[in-house]
Amino acid sequence: MNVNLDPLPRIAILGDSRVFDTYFVNERYGTVRYGYHRTFPHLLRAALLCRDRPVADVVHIPDHFRGSTIENNIIRLALTDPSVVVLVDGIWESLLTRRQFFDFLKMQVDTVNWQGGETLSLDFSSSRVVDLFLEGRFDISPDNYAKRIGRIISFFRRRGRHVIWANLPIVPREHKGREHFAGDYMCIPDWGRVLNGLNTAVSQIVSAYGAQVLDLDNLMAKSGGPAECLIDQWHFSEKFHLAISQELERCLLQLLSGSQISGTYPIMPGDLVAGAIAVDGDAEDVHRLKAANPELEIVGKFSSDTPLPQVSAVVVASQEHHKREARVVELLKRAPSVPILFPEELTGLVNPANGDRAQHGNLI
């Protein structure tokens, strides 16, 4: 069958090591081994292309080495001009180590008024570390991770694309005795609380932006549980890859046949929209934007209680991250038919050389 792939919608999958790696090819896994052709991106691509009328193409972007920065991941995804972005990410953010506690402890010791008689609790346990993680006391936390994922979700939702985030299956303590064969280490007893904390935080962000959760935890339960779906603590079995492919196919057929995907305008940062734009912000924001981009035709500013003007784009010009994202959430509820941009995206997205994602040391 000769298929012209260019006009087909593209599904871009950004996947961490759960999507595919070869760690499981060692003696600890026995005869369990499979190639990329058994993974859900490949199975999904075949399912969508081999229908009587091909539905969509699938592009898998490996994120095994973490993409280094959120900007890097946004650019890699945007280059495919996707209709739908699928994010299978977050496992590395769940792997707490002693380093996080040491960093927290140093900060506590540095700031305690010990000369004034103040005391400091040095309790250390798996439960204590997870409590601190969930409270946001480490450099990584559920909320911090959700904000990073939220930046990817925001970028594509603001351009009329749909986003699906696959959550983290909650692995019970008894699964393979908490031992992870690939890395030869033990998951902490409270790891399930970590996974649940990440799922809860990201699910709230997903909902706010009108994106979608692919509930892998529920799908695992319906597909035989961890024993059938996970070959170690998080790598998927062939059976689970097939189940994920089938569930994504069902979701995508529904999405692509509806009106939830509207983006046809330029997606790359720096690809200027043609025509007039409106500015979401105050007079100072408008002046600042005009000074930095004198070539722009700005028709003025608007507020939440005014109709959306007939423009080619809306620029949310607030300089405070939390305020601008809050405005994006409000604007998305009004279902605008134009892209929603940030000022720095008008001239291109700077991809910093340093990473901004969680770094991990020894996992033992």
Tokens of 355: 């990473």
Question: What share of the chain in percent tops pLDDT 70?
Answer: 90
Which DSSP string corresponds to 138-182? SSS-HHHHHHHHHHHHHHHHTTT-EEEEE------TTGGGGEETT
- C-alpha span between 271 and 78 (Å, rounded): 12
Q: Label residue 297 by pLDDT band (50, 70, 90).
A: confident
Residue 362 has pLDDT above 70, yes or no: no
**pLDDT, tens digit, 9 for 90 and up, residues 64-95:** 545 568 888 898 899 999 999 999 998 888 98
| Burial (0-12, 13-18, 19+ Cβ within 10 Å), 242 | middle
Query: pLDDT at position 361, please?
Result: 47
pLDDT, mean of residues 285-296 = 87
Mean pLDDT of 285-309: 80
Residue 262, classified by CB atoms within 10 Å of its CB into exposed (0-12), middle (13-18) or buried (19+), is middle
Residues in CB range of 341: below 8 A, 6 or more apart? 158, 273, 313, 314, 315, 316
Alpha carbons 74 and 159: distance in angstroms, whole number = 12
What is the pLDDT at residue 316? 92
Delineate the domains of the chain, giving CATH numbers in brackets.
10-95+137-257 (3.40.50.1110), 277-346 (no CATH)
Q: 66, 355 in Cβ contact below 8 A? A: yes
Q: End-to-end alpha-carbon separation of the chain, Å?
A: 51
For range 3-21, the mean pLDDT: 88
At 14-70, the pLDDT tens digits run 998 899 887 778 888 888 889 999 999 999 999 999 998 999 999 999 875 455 688
**Region of poorest pLDDT, from 132-146, 219-233, 336-350:** 336-350
Show the 3-state SS of 53-65: CCCCEEEEEECCC
8 Å CB contact between 47 and 56:
no
**Per-residue model confidence (pLDDT) at position 64:** 56
> For a pLDDT cut of 90, what percent of the chain falls above it?
50
User: What's the pLDDT at 66?
Assistant: 53
Separation of alpha carbons 352 and 354, rounded Å: 6
Whether the CB-CB separation of 60 and 37 falls below 8 Å is answered with no
312 or 15, which is more confident?
15
- DSSP assignment, residue 353? S
- 233 within 8 A of 127, measured Cβ to Cβ: no
Q: In 3D, which of 114, 20, 7 has the Cα closest to residue 54?
A: 7
Query: By mean pLDDT, which of 255-259, 271-275, 342-346, 356-360 is the weakest?
Result: 356-360
Residues 169-215 pLDDT 10s: 999 999 999 988 887 778 999 999 999 999 999 999 999 999 999 99
For position 307, what pLDDT does the model report?
72
- Write the DSSP symbol of residue 223: T
CA–CA dist 177, 175 (Å, integer): 5
Sheet strands side by side (includes 277-280): 298-302, 277-280, 313-316, 340-341
- Average pLDDT taken over every residue of the chain: 87
